Structure 1
Amino acid sequence: MRTLLFVLAVLAGRSSVMAEERPNILFIAIDDMRPEIGCYGGPQVQTPHLDAFAAEGMRFDRAYCQVPVCGASRASLMTGILPTEDRFRNYTTRADNDAAGAATLPETFKNAGYTTVSNGKIFHNPKDSAGQSWSAPAWRPSGKSLASHDPATTAKLSASKQRGRIYESPDVADNAYPDGLVAEKSIKDLRRLKQAGKPFFLACGFVRPHMPFYAPKKYWDRYQRDQVDIADNRYRPAGAPKALQGSQEFRSYHLADFDVNSDDFHRMMRHGYMASVSYVDKLVGDVLAELERLELADNTIVVVWGDHGWHLGEHDFWGKHNTMHLATRVPLIVRASGRKAGATQALVETIDIFPTLCSLADIAVPTTVQGRCFSAILENPKQPFREVVYSRIRSGDTVIDDRFSYTEYDGGKSEMLYDLKKDPAENRNVAGEPEYADVVTKMNRMLKERQSEAANAKLKRPKVK
């Protein structure tokens, strides 16, 4: 009897040690943030907390989303499945509709014994895949992202069918807006999860810098509007087909007396965007500081990612919703204990996050996942990875390699090719120029290969591989 009790005690102790050794995951999503923050070489945006974090992790300089719109991008990332013309299409997309039967990233960790928690905007719709993914109901603050603390904004909301002013800068505390409450809830959860002693997957999603640009005054005060740089390519790319469209989302907000074609409007928009980024940077810093204080950082893999990029007046576009580089390229920073810090030019996709986290946590990857594990890059930033990345939205499908970005519209009715080496701002479509004919042929072939890969997704209830 004593022998049996001793064996059981040893096994229980071993199980406890194994649980402690399993890495936690802190999964931080930031909406609409393009990779133009300090650590990415952004000359004006002040992001000291993200910059300090990036100095300890691996910064992916060429990470791309699958679909440059909130709902579809997040559904693709959270399932590790590529988009098609009929799957992951727009901002209302739900993973549990478009990829029914596929395991989600948090579900996979939940099934492996993790406590999984969702705070703020992770899936676009908080009910998406909620029961299967989270250990408790997904949490969001009761105040919507349009919550205002400026009487002028509130008056506009009441007086018109518009969403209210496009910006405000009241002198309020960080927790006056929903994102501040998300940070506070995440900090409280870190304390609770530490006490529980189980491995956890804590997802923390911030809405800013998504429009409207509402942030406390102190973040606006970091910038002088008359010194804010504005785009110098406020025109459509030369030779771009009519199928290339920008977002008109900003027109649903009250723009006061601004002329949208004026320098003043461009400076106001960029000022608001930068203030919103600095606000979220502080909130991310608060969460990371608590992780350190609780002595959880050494055993927690931290991922900071953006769901897509954003145009700030370039090509006369505001927002995402197209296949230009500014819409598809995203920030991605991964910090894992014992892995190298640095930066990589490797081409990666957001669907690659799913299998990478599974690999780092020694969890089997569901067979539905189409992403590839990039953990080797965390050891060797120069490690070759993807030859091309794939992204799509509406009628446009895009592949990007180390030099070119190619888009085909409507199955070949029109196309774009940008030489990123000669024209990094994508101001001239060279798809029709004879000297690029072989490049177009090559890129089109690789596009068809990626489209075929996407079409062959395994969407039956997955087994693990």
Structure 2
Amino acid sequence: MKNQLATRWIAVVVTGLMCGALNAANDRPNVLLICSDDMRPQLHCYGDPTVQSPNIDRLAARGTLFNRSYVQQALCSPSRISMLSGRYPTTTQILNIGPTLRSTMPDITTVPQYFKTHGYDCRSFGKVYHVGIDDDASWSVPAWHSKKPRYGAAGQRALVARRKEYAQKGITPPPKGKGAIFYAGPAFEATKLGDDELLDGDTTVHGIEQLREYAKIPEQPFFLAVGFSNPHVPWVAPKKYFDMYDCGSLSLAKNEFLPKGAPPFAATSGADFLWYGNVQSGPLTETFKRECLQGYLAAISYVDAQVGRLLDALDNTGLAENTIVVFWTDHGYYMGEHTWWGAKHNNYEGATRNAMIIALPNQEASGQMTDALVQSVDIGPTLVDLCGLPTNANFEGRSLKPLIEDPMESVNDAAFSWYPKRGYLGVAMRSDRWRFVRWTKKGKPTQYELYDQQNDPQNDVNVFGEKQHAAEVEKLKEQLENRFPIEEGR
């Protein structure tokens, strides 16, 4: 790895001298982007007293926590592509898992690619783009993925047994196609394996190794992305993380019902959870629900420990003195709310609100929380601004630097998210008080949802159509139409 990096550095120097891209490169901050899958903002630093997340909490203590951060789609691949490209899903035209970014925008320059063109060494470890849907042009070398298992020994045995059962019965497990058999495993497992014997721990090991290599060449600015697969179901972590939580004392959701008054097609989420091998076929028992919660929280704490190891490596190598750290999760998640488990797949608050923290070296206004509305597409412009690179007008977000300097500032009047549902395309606009959703489908009347985030933060009741909100609805319609007009043919 050392020789590869040295060779890359020589090539960058030559290129930089030719095009002037490396002026004062060693003065530019490095970037460490840490991504976590399916982690809603259920962390101690976000106000949850149950969750043990000391390492993410200490990152928040030295940076800025964005309390109202929203992804552009509550689905792994489109969300990641949107964040890493700095474009809305309606620009990338990727609203499903499968298509690569270059299939719709072959000449696009992504956020890490933009850093690469300005002299940065850019690398990816783990789940940054969706696994199998990467973008080689974004990185200086191809993305690295661990070959360590996602399950522990018991989970792997259960997976093999269920595969045999499917084969004997001639069952094709959902979803049909590549990788479908993975869902035959259990939804959670407290394994005897150690951190580094599992996929996320191994990703951490290699991320730390890369940081140590960077420390040997301080002249080389870097953009390093490290992505963790937890706490996406299956929730697999060493047993010590499960032991942090008393299963019997965990509180269940109080709104185990669908959003009232919502269009039936909109009030749905993914069925992924039901595919896992140990999920009960009938209604889930309270005991099983609490076991799921324990597994989810254990997976969060496992990721938190890996974040701590990366932060320690920054401190131990001296890189912390010149490295911006971003912690970002790809969307929200449901753990029993609205009857949905291990799910997202919609335009509601619980699916689209994510966790995001940005910490600068020796940040003056540190340890602060901002309630300003921010979006994942803002990350690219923010990093470009903080690192002193030329502004890229093609990025569709806005720099959050003003919020880092003063958490009471504002940069967005709304945040936007999309989701396709049964032929409809829904766009949600999250304003300071309201969640306003517009659903369009060719040949069908436009449908709307309206949720009062002040009095109904979990979107339990659709109040669109109530007379007292008529004037507000007209304002919201106009605001959304001015920003994102209804597409022709919809």
Corresponding residue of 1:355: 381
Deviation at 1:365, TM superposition (A): 3.3
Which amino acid in the other structure matches residue 355 of structure 2?
P
Which amino acid in the other structure matches residue 215 of structure 1?
A
Corresponding residue of 1:441: 474
What is the aligned counterpart of 1:128 among 123, 134, 145?
134
Corresponding residue of 1:461: none
Corresponding residue of 2:87: 81
Residues 4-58 of structure 1: per-residue CA shift (max 9 Å, x gap)? xxxxxxxx9xx99923221000000001000011000113111111111111110
Quick one: distance in 2 between partners of 1:180 and 1:78? 23
What is the aligned counterpart of 1:228 among 250, 253, 256?
250
Q: Does 1:27 align with 2:33?
A: yes
Q: Please say if residues 390 and 447 of structure 1, whose CA atoms lie closer than 8 Å, have aligned partners that are also in contact.
A: no
Corresponding residue of 1:247: 270
Quick one: distance in 1 between partners of 2:101 and 2:33? 18
What is the aligned counterpart of 1:432 among 465, 474, 477?
465
Residues 173-199 of structure 1: per-residue CA shift (max 9 Å, x gap)? 001211111100000000011112211
Q: Please say if residues 82 and 454 of structure 1, whose CA atoms lie closer than 8 Å, have aligned partners that are also in contact.
A: no
Secondary structure of residue in 2 paired with 1:235: coil
Q: Please say if residues 404 and 419 of structure 1, whose CA atoms lie closer than 8 Å, have aligned partners that are also in contact.
A: yes
Corresponding residue of 2:308: 285
Quick one: distance in 1 between partners of 2:462 and 2:323? 44
Residues 260 and 450 from structure 1, CA distance in 2 versus in 1: closer, same or farther, beyond 3 angstroms? farther
Quick one: distance in 1 between partners of 2:350 and 2:280? 28
Which amino acid in the other structure matches residue 117 of structure 2?
N
Q: Please say if residues 148 and 197 of structure 2, whose CA atoms lie closer than 8 Å, have aligned partners that are also in contact.
A: no
Deviation at 1:338, TM superposition (A): 4.4
Q: Does 1:177 align with 2:210?
A: no
Residues 164 and 133 from structure 1, CA distance in 2 versus in 1: closer, same or farther, beyond 3 angstroms? same
Q: 1:195-344 counterparts in 2 under 5 A? A: 195-197=216-218, 198-244=220-266, 245-255=268-278, 257=280, 259-318=282-341, 319-339=343-363, 340-341=365-366, 342-344=368-370
Quick one: distance in 2 between partners of 1:37 and 1:343? 13
Q: Please say if residues 418 and 426 of structure 2, whose CA atoms lie closer than 8 Å, have aligned partners that are also in contact.
A: yes
Q: Please say if residues 30 and 205 of structure 1, whose CA atoms lie closer than 8 Å, have aligned partners that are also in contact.
A: yes
Deviation at 1:144, TM superposition (A): 5.7
Corresponding residue of 1:193: 214
Range that drifts further, 137-146 or 61-70: 137-146
Deviation at 1:72, TM superposition (A): 0.3
Corresponding residue of 1:408: 438
Secondary structure of residue in 1 paired with 2:398: coil
Q: Does 1:418 align with 2:451?
A: yes
Secondary structure of residue in 2 paired with 1:346: strand
Quick one: distance in 1 between partners of 2:281 and 2:294? 14
Q: 1:54-65 counterparts in 2 under 5 A? A: 54-65=60-71
Which amino acid in the other structure matches residue 356 of structure 1?
T
Which amino acid in the other structure matches residue 298 of structure 1?
E
Residues 437 and 16 from structure 1, CA distance in 2 versus in 1: closer, same or farther, beyond 3 angstroms? closer
Corresponding residue of 2:58: 52
Quick one: distance in 1 between partners of 2:226 and 2:164? 31
Residues 362 and 85 from structure 1, CA distance in 2 versus in 1: closer, same or farther, beyond 3 angstroms? closer
Deviation at 1:337, TM superposition (A): 2.1
Q: Does 1:72 align with 2:96?
A: no
Q: Please say if residues 185 and 276 of structure 2, whose CA atoms lie closer than 8 Å, have aligned partners that are also in contact.
A: yes
- Structure 2 residue runs without a partner (length 5+): 1-16, 167-172, 174-182
Q: Does 1:396 align with 2:426?
A: yes
Q: Please say if residues 126 and 138 of structure 1, whose CA atoms lie closer than 8 Å, have aligned partners that are also in contact.
A: no
Residues 81 and 269 from structure 1, CA distance in 2 versus in 1: closer, same or farther, beyond 3 angstroms? same
Q: Please say if residues 22 and 118 of structure 2, whose CA atoms lie closer than 8 Å, have aligned partners that are also in contact.
A: no
Residues 276 and 27 from structure 1, CA distance in 2 versus in 1: closer, same or farther, beyond 3 angstroms? same
Q: Please say if residues 146 and 163 of structure 1, whose CA atoms lie closer than 8 Å, have aligned partners that are also in contact.
A: no
Q: Please say if residues 273 and 279 of structure 2, whose CA atoms lie closer than 8 Å, have aligned partners that are also in contact.
A: no
Residues 259-280 of structure 1: per-residue CA shift (max 9 Å, x gap)? 4432123212211110100000
Quick one: distance in 1 between partners of 2:250 and 2:317? 39
Secondary structure of residue in 2 paired with 1:210: coil
Quick one: distance in 1 between partners of 2:118 and 2:362? 23
Secondary structure of residue in 2 paired with 1:410: strand
Quick one: distance in 2 between partners of 1:35 and 1:306? 8
Q: Please say if residues 83 and 454 of structure 1, whose CA atoms lie closer than 8 Å, have aligned partners that are also in contact.
A: no
Deviation at 1:315, TM superposition (A): 0.6
Q: Please say if residues 156 and 165 of structure 1, whose CA atoms lie closer than 8 Å, have aligned partners that are also in contact.
A: no
Deviation at 1:86, TM superposition (A): 7.8
Secondary structure of residue in 2 paired with 1:196: coil
Q: Please say if residues 119 and 185 of structure 1, whose CA atoms lie closer than 8 Å, have aligned partners that are also in contact.
A: yes
Identity %: 35
Which amino acid in the other structure matches residue 432 of structure 2?
D
Q: Please say if residues 72 and 93 of structure 1, whose CA atoms lie closer than 8 Å, have aligned partners that are also in contact.
A: no
Q: Does 1:36 align with 2:42?
A: yes
Deviation at 1:163, TM superposition (A): 2.5
Residues 348 and 95 from structure 1, CA distance in 2 versus in 1: closer, same or farther, beyond 3 angstroms? same
Secondary structure of residue in 1 paired with 2:248: helix
Secondary structure of residue in 1 paired with 2:226: strand
Deviation at 1:137, TM superposition (A): 1.0
Q: Please say if residues 39 and 332 of structure 2, whose CA atoms lie closer than 8 Å, have aligned partners that are also in contact.
A: yes
Quick one: distance in 2 between partners of 1:354 and 1:272? 33
Residues 16 and 413 from structure 1, CA distance in 2 versus in 1: closer, same or farther, beyond 3 angstroms? closer
Q: Please say if residues 94 and 125 of structure 1, whose CA atoms lie closer than 8 Å, have aligned partners that are also in contact.
A: no
Q: Please say if residues 84 and 451 of structure 1, whose CA atoms lie closer than 8 Å, have aligned partners that are also in contact.
A: no
What is the aligned counterpart of 1:111 among 113, 117, 120?
117
Which amino acid in the other structure matches residue 225 of structure 1?
C
Secondary structure of residue in 2 paired with 1:233: coil
Quick one: distance in 2 between partners of 1:144 and 1:117? 22
Residues 397 and 22 from structure 1, CA distance in 2 versus in 1: closer, same or farther, beyond 3 angstroms? same
Corresponding residue of 2:97: 91
Corresponding residue of 1:4: none
Which amino acid in the other structure matches residue 141 of structure 1?
S
Q: Please say if residues 255 and 337 of structure 2, whose CA atoms lie closer than 8 Å, have aligned partners that are also in contact.
A: yes
Residues 275-321 of structure 1: per-residue CA shift (max 9 Å, x gap)? 10000000010111111011111100000001100011101112110
Q: How many residues align?
A: 443
